[in-house]
Structure 1
């Protein structure tokens, strides 16, 4: 295995004499990027070979890589503190640019309106604003990593004490914005796999006070937490949301809306009805037709219906699976036909049938045959079947 084939590494500890090919290949290995979390590698030079490193690059371009310009390997080695400061400043500017359009006073509500939806009745806004949220999450994560890389050496990087504290508060502010937007939009569950490493950086270089609040959402999304714990779950939301009744209401509405959107393909008719109920509830809130606590109770009740359809809807006993219930809801509540199609699909489908044109055609034909006089609904029902997790 050559140095170019070897796995990527983040740190290179030089504790012995190295030169020429071996030295150059070791540098390439630690500089190789293999994911978003690695921005560059570190070289810890116990043998004071830094001057030799520059020589190794020169010798290598004149030896095994003869014919390559020096420009081909320019930038292989850079001053870590200079590069760290450059990246931190770039990350700060990137986050500020993303948040610049947020309306004054740039509080929790303003950020939720800009990155989620200005009006929770707008069913398309949450999805349409998803690219802005993803850009925010990535930019703030890059800012936190850039700050963490320099946090213990900022004076050496040229920052004054007042600048260091201002930057720390800035990073803390934008991390809280990121977290509130993720919770407010319902994106937290989708991205929580990335949270442990980020949590470690925040606890180490910013502050750990909020870790207990955030941990409430480690295993459950907001809607799931509400279904399990009722109104008590809302006490676990960040203070910026919790202390703002409108932000609290919009956060729950966005989370319920996102769940409806995500589950819509599994049972279009049922979740269309849930969407209508949510719209009606939002309109009541906007018209101030309900006291705030009464509104929250109704929202909790709706969350249960969205998350657990069987807990609030009485289905015939033969409809004992989610797929059968979805077919029933989308076949004008025809119990016998729903059972027949479910049986036909289970009998016909083969392993890995989705995405295989011939296997899909067999399932579609079986559905068409069972539909009989409703054959015109075959494409709709076939798509519904494809979206069922149990098939």
Structure 2
């Protein structure tokens, strides 16, 4: 920068500006939940910033580069809030909105895997937001409720709403989206597992075999509507376990 004609004072000011706006960017991303997961690139970027800019303040948010805010809330509870930027941590409304925005993002992202379950989670979040804005819920109690909801969103298996046989995410998705019919969910899960072949989503014949298996099981429960069969087929395609 000296060779480019900048004075020492100008160099320091530019470095300070970069530090400031990098932190502002991080805070906005965290508060809004509007960020792209670039975990594989961020460490290298942080190294460049730390090495050439000396952005010491940016380390304040380092914990969030490998875990989302919602994941930290599930793992650490209210202790996770201590890692938030000071400008958010010292403002209860800003902190609440940051949690809500991040939680909403997770619900939207996870919804295709279990629409009925995450629709229920969305309703619960809306209710908590309404209570907070109407100031009808004490802030401490609100934090406990929102952290509990974060656990249900990230780890559906930790809830006690499922029979013991509904013990995988795929079974839970079938159970929730088939009228909570335990026998049908278990039967369909077994049928899919014994029918599916490797790479079935990208192969027309293999995909057709899975759809036929779904049709067969649903038909045994008097479900023959093509739209319903297609809905369950799409649900099955969104299950990582299949």
TM-score (normalizing by structure 2): 0.92
Deviation at 1:313, TM superposition (A): 3.1
Aligned equivalent of 2:100, options 253, 258, 264: 253
Matches within 5 A, 1:29-40: none
CA gap of 1:240–1:207, structure 2 versus 1, over 3 A, is farther
SS in 2 for 1:183: helix
Residue of structure 2 in register with 1:272 after alignment: 119
Mapped to 2, the partners of 1:192 and 1:388 lie a distance apart of 24
Q: Which has the larger radius of gyration?
A: 1
SS at match of 2:197: coil
Q: Does 1:374 align with 2:223?
A: yes
Residue 82 (structure 2) pairs with residue 204 (structure 1): no
Gaps of 5+ in 1: 1-153
Aligned residue in 2 for 1:390: 241
Alignment of structure 1 residues 258-337 onto 2, 5 Å: 258-337=105-184
Deviation at 1:190, TM superposition (A): 1.6
CA contact (8 A) 1:185 1:254 kept: yes
Displacement, 1:334?
0.5
Q: CA-atom RMSD, angstroms?
A: 1.7
Secondary structure of 1:168's partner? helix
Residues 66-107 of structure 1: per-residue CA shift (max 9 Å, x gap): xxxxxxxxxxxxxxxxxxxxxxxxxxxxxxxxxxxxxxxxxx
Structure 1 contact 260–306 (Cα < 8 Å) conserved = yes
Matches within 5 A, 1:34-113: none
How far apart, CA to CA, are the structure 2 residues paired with 1:384 and 1:257? 21
Aligned mates of 2:9, 2:22 — CA distance in 1? 20
> Taking CA–CA contacts closer than 8 Å with sequence separation of 6 or more, which of the two structures ends up with the larger relative contact order?
2
d(CA) in 2 for partners of 1:241, 1:207: 23
Name 2:5's counterpart in structure 1: 158
Greater mean deviation of Cα atoms: 245-254 or 271-280 = 245-254
Return the match for 1:228 from 64, 67, 75.
Answer: 75
Is 2:23–2:57's contact at 8 Å kept on the other side of the alignment?
no
1:363 deviates by 0.7
Who is 1:346 aligned against?
193
**What stretches of structure 2 of length at least 5 have no aligned partner?**
none
Q: Please give the alpha-carbon distance, in whole angstroms, between the structure 1 residues aligned to 2:203 and 2:5.
A: 60
> Per the alignment, in what secondary structure is the counterpart of residue 258 of structure 1?
helix
Distance 2:23 2:97 in 1: 17
Distance 1:248 1:237 in 2: 8
